[in-house]
Structure 1
Amino acid sequence: MYTAYLADTPNGRKIAIALEKLELPYRVQSVDLGAGEQHTPAFLRLNPNGKIPVLVNDHDGSTLFESNAILFHLATRHDGLIPADTAGRDTVLQWLFLQAASIGPMLGQLWWFRHASPTPNEQALARYTKEARRLYDVIERRLAVTPFVAGDAYTVADIACWTWLVTHDELGLDIGAWPAVAAWLDKVGARPAVRRGLVRTAEPAHV
């Protein structure tokens, strides 16, 4: 049994989607980011960086933070979301790192300057829009030659990238510019475990 500390964000959604796909028992402990619950002493004991998600193994009390570290942990301990061979795992890892190092930060900054910045900043909007479009181009080229991000099979790399790239409307990006990405977004979004995970992550905050 796991306890997943989540919020309804791309990184939070990843974990519920993976847990649903792997059919693992878990409960959601929703974290109210707007109220600053991620900065409380109790939460900082779970993640000193003060970010969601956090996954706690209720059996032994072990704790993991960083969404893609959690995805890799789950995938390597349960069949279904990562290849068994070294080369396949390396491929998944490189796309997980790309999402963590580039897709998440760049799209996150674009969202911030479009929706949350108290001061309009056209230079920042232009910069992050350009970089977001470049990253969609990267995934478009990849999905033009392979059905899923890490190859022929659906893996945690798809989960990690999907929760971010599906936010294109919020980012002011026309997904029509990337037909392979659009088709993949629809295909992944139709998976039952993805739908269930999104519902679980949207549960009201109650830490």
Structure 2
Amino acid sequence: MTWVADNASYIAQLTGLHLVQSVLPLFLGLIISIPIAQFARLSRPVSTVILSASSILYTIPSLALFIILPVVLGTGVLELTNVIVALTIYAVALLVRSCVDAFGSVDDSVRQAAVAVGYTPVRRFFTVDLPLSVPVLIAGLRVVSVSNISLVSVGAVIGIPNLGLLFTDGLQRNFFTPLLAGIVITLLLALVMDALLVLTERALTPWTRADKAVRP
């Protein structure tokens, strides 16, 4: 505990960097995945190709991707950018399927009713499809948030600052206090992110609580 207290500012800095490197790709991945999922729903063959490609993306070893990206993007790019790009790729790989499932969960009769009253495709998407798909979308985001918070640590192996540095430092010095601190903080970040996403779902889907309230 003394080591943690003495290095509180350093740990807080690493925690902040860890959050940026894990949360930003989560939202970038969602923004990219939504139009891809909409395109995938055009036909079964298109959906099969896109979902297969996304599954293959997720099989790329994270450490290999962190090493390859500086070569692809250029060594002048900030290390932080390389991590964000890598984790955005993994987020898209997971979220495309979640988005396809989410939009597929919307009842076709609801879509047809929206068209019948004159909704344009864009208006129907933002006022019908997207709101009703929120529960499934949030479920996918919860999986990706935990995955990102874990995967970010791998970047420390190649010198990218985040909580993973506590792991490498502890192992190199055979000193388990920073290692334990890193594990505990990472778990807490995952729990907090999951709780925030659950609260977000509840805030965006008030009708689900109303439906439960009127059930006998």
Same fold (TM over 0.5): no
TM-score, normalised with respect to structure 1: 0.31
TM-score, normalised with respect to structure 2: 0.30
Q: Give 1 or 2: higher strand fraction.
A: 1
Larger Rg, first or second structure (1 or 2):
2
Q: Give 1 or 2: higher helix fraction.
A: 2
Higher RCO, 1 or 2 (CA under 8 Å, sep at least 6)? 1
